[in-house]
């Protein structure tokens, strides 16, 4: 494969995935869940989140089509069901009551029950569908279809590896924002983080509706170009 082909597939995959995966917006929402953790538990939570994040993205690349065949599912149905999950998660975030004030790092402490409750949310809804939503999965399926080279398993495998590299880049951006961007979140203060989290939760709700509409449109062969 030539360097030009590699760069084209990488750049086109990056531009297709970045606005859908949206690691920047995801970092703001995830930080809302992690804001009251001490450094030790925050590092553990970020590590587990990234493992789940990569498992979903890379797992979709590896065995996504197999799961669709096993369960007889179509991508539009996944979009519809996933859109519902995103809407539910966004509503929970919108209705969630914030704590009165953030504690300083030295004052923060997490009880076993609080950590257990957060840990149970690390996969759903924090990783899926907030960090990686069905829209991201559908884009990965689309990229897989366009990256497949007829009668050439080697070229197809290389293209899939490029898509996997792009997804790892998304995970790296999310990691940097959750670790190095913590100072920025602190500077915003309680009220600033609350406003941004609520706004992003609202936009996340809208994204969920859009994914549902796209799924319904594909199922019933409807033209939704008027919404674009």
Q: In the structure encoding, which two tokens stand for residue 151, read together? A: 């009668």
Residues 168-194 have a mean pLDDT of: 84
Is residue 228 scored above 70 in pLDDT?
A: no
pLDDT at 130: 87
- Between 27-41, 97-111, 117-131, 204-218, the lowest mean confidence (pLDDT) is in 97-111
Residue 147 lies in a domain: yes
Residue 103 lies in a domain: no
- Across the chain, mean pLDDT equals 82
Residue 90 lies in a domain: yes
Q: In the structure encoding, which two tokens stand for residue 8, read together? A: 């084209």
Residue 221 lies in a domain: yes
Residue 59 lies in a domain: yes
More confident residue, 62 or 92: 62
**pLDDT tens column, 142-171:** 788 777 777 788 888 898 999 999 999 999
Residue 102 DSSP class: P
Is residue 226 scored above 60 in pLDDT?
A: no
From 111, 120, 123, 149, select the one nearest 53 (Cα to Cα): 123
pLDDT at 44: 95
More confident residue, 222 or 224: 222
Output the pTM of the full model.
0.75
- Domain that includes residue 71, residue range: 3-97+110-227
Query: Between vectors from CA 29 to CA 119 and to CA 42, what angle results, nearest 5°?
Result: 40
Is residue 53 scored above 90 in pLDDT?
A: yes
Residue 79: count of CB within 10 angstroms of its CB: 25
- CA dist 198 → 26, 75, 96 (Å): 12, 29, 9
Length of the chain equals 228
Query: Between vectors from CA 170 to CA 40 and to CA 35, what angle results, nearest 5°?
Result: 30
For the chain, what is the domain count?
A: 1
Residue 129 lies in a domain: yes
What is the 3 state secondary structure string of 121-167?
A: HHHHHHHHHHHCCHHHHHHHHHHHHHHCCCCCHHHHHHHHHHHHHHH
For the chain, percent of residues with pLDDT exceeding 70: 92
Residue 104 lies in a domain: no
């Amino acid at each position: 494969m030539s360097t030009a082909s590699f760069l084209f597939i990488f750049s086109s995959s990056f531009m297709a995935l970045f606005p859908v995966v949206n690691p920047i917006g995801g970092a703001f929402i995830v930080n809302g869940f992690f804001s009251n953790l001490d450094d030790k538990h925050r590092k553990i939570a970020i590590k587990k989140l990234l493992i789940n994040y990569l498992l979903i993205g890379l797992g979709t690349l590896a065995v996504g089509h197999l799961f669709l065949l096993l369960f007889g599912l179509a991508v539009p149905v996944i979009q519809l069901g996933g859109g519902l999950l995103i809407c539910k998660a966004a509503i929970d975030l919108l209705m969630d009551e914030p704590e009165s004030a953030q504690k300083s790092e030295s004052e923060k402490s997490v009880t076993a029950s609080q950590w257990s409750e957060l840990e149970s949310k690390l996969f759903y809804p924090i990783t899926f569908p907030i960090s990686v939503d069905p829209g991201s999965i559908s884009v990965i399926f689309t990229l897989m279809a366009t990256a497949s080279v007829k009668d050439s398993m080697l070229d197809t495998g290389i293209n899939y590896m490029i898509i996997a590299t792009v997804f790892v880049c998304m995970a790296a951006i999310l990691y940097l924002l959750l670790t190095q961007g913590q100072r920025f979140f602190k500077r915003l203060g309680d009220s600033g983080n609350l406003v941004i989290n609520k706004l992003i939760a609202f936009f996340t709700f809208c994204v969920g509706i859009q994914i549902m509409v796209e799924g319904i449109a594909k199922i019933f062969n409807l033209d939704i170009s008027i919404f674009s």
